[in-house]
Structure 1
Amino acid sequence: MKKRLLVMMVSFLLYGCTYPTLDKAIEKSIPYDVHDVVLIEEVGATSIVLYETNANKDNFPQIDEPVIALAIFKGSDQDGWKNVGPNGWTHNDSDSFTMYQEFYYERDAQGEVTEYIPIYYGKLNNPNITQIITIDEDGHEKEAVLSEGSGGRYYVAFWDFTGLKGISKDGEIIDQMKWE
Structure 2
Amino acid sequence: MKKSISLALIVFISIGIIIVFWLSDFEFGKYDNLREAIQKGIPYPAIKLVHTEEYDGVTIVMYTAKPEEEELPFANYTPLAIAFFRGNDEEGWSNIGHNGWTHYENDNMHVYHEYLQEHDEKGNDRDQI
Using the size of structure 2 for normalisation, the TM-score is 0.70
Instruction: Report matched runs for 1:72-111 at 5 Å.
Output: 72-111=84-123
Q: 1:62, CA displacement in angstroms?
A: 2.9
Which structure would you say has the larger Rg?
Answer: 2
**CA offset at residue 81 of structure 1?**
0.5
Contact 2:66 2:78 in 1 (8 A): yes
Cα deviation digits, residues 34-91 of structure 1 (max 9, x gap): 1110011111111111111111223333333422111111111121110111112222
Unmatched tracts of structure 1, length 5 or more: 1-14, 118-180
Shift, 1:115, TM fit: 2.1
The CA distance in 2 between the partners of 1:109 and 1:57, in whole Å, is 36
Q: Which has the higher contact order (CA 8 A, sep 6+)?
A: 2
Quick check: 2:44–2:67 contact (8 Å CA) kept in 1?
no
Equivalent position SS for 1:59: coil
CA contact (8 A) 2:58 2:86 kept: yes
The one of 80, 83, 92 aligned to 1:71: 83
**In proportion to residue count, which structure has more helix?**
2
Match of 2:30 in 1: 18
Structure 1 length-normalised TM: 0.52
Matched residue of 2:116: which SS?
strand
Provide the aligned C-alpha RMSD in A. 1.9
Equivalent residue letter for 2:124: E
Please give the residue correspondences for 1:25-174 in structure 2 after superposition, counting only pairs within 5 Å: 25-117=37-129
Unaligned runs of 5+ in 2: 1-26
Name the residue aligned to 1:8.
none
Judged with a 3 Å threshold, the aligned counterparts in structure 2 of structure 1 residues 111 and 59 are, in CA distance, closer, same or farther, namely: closer
Number of aligned residues: 103
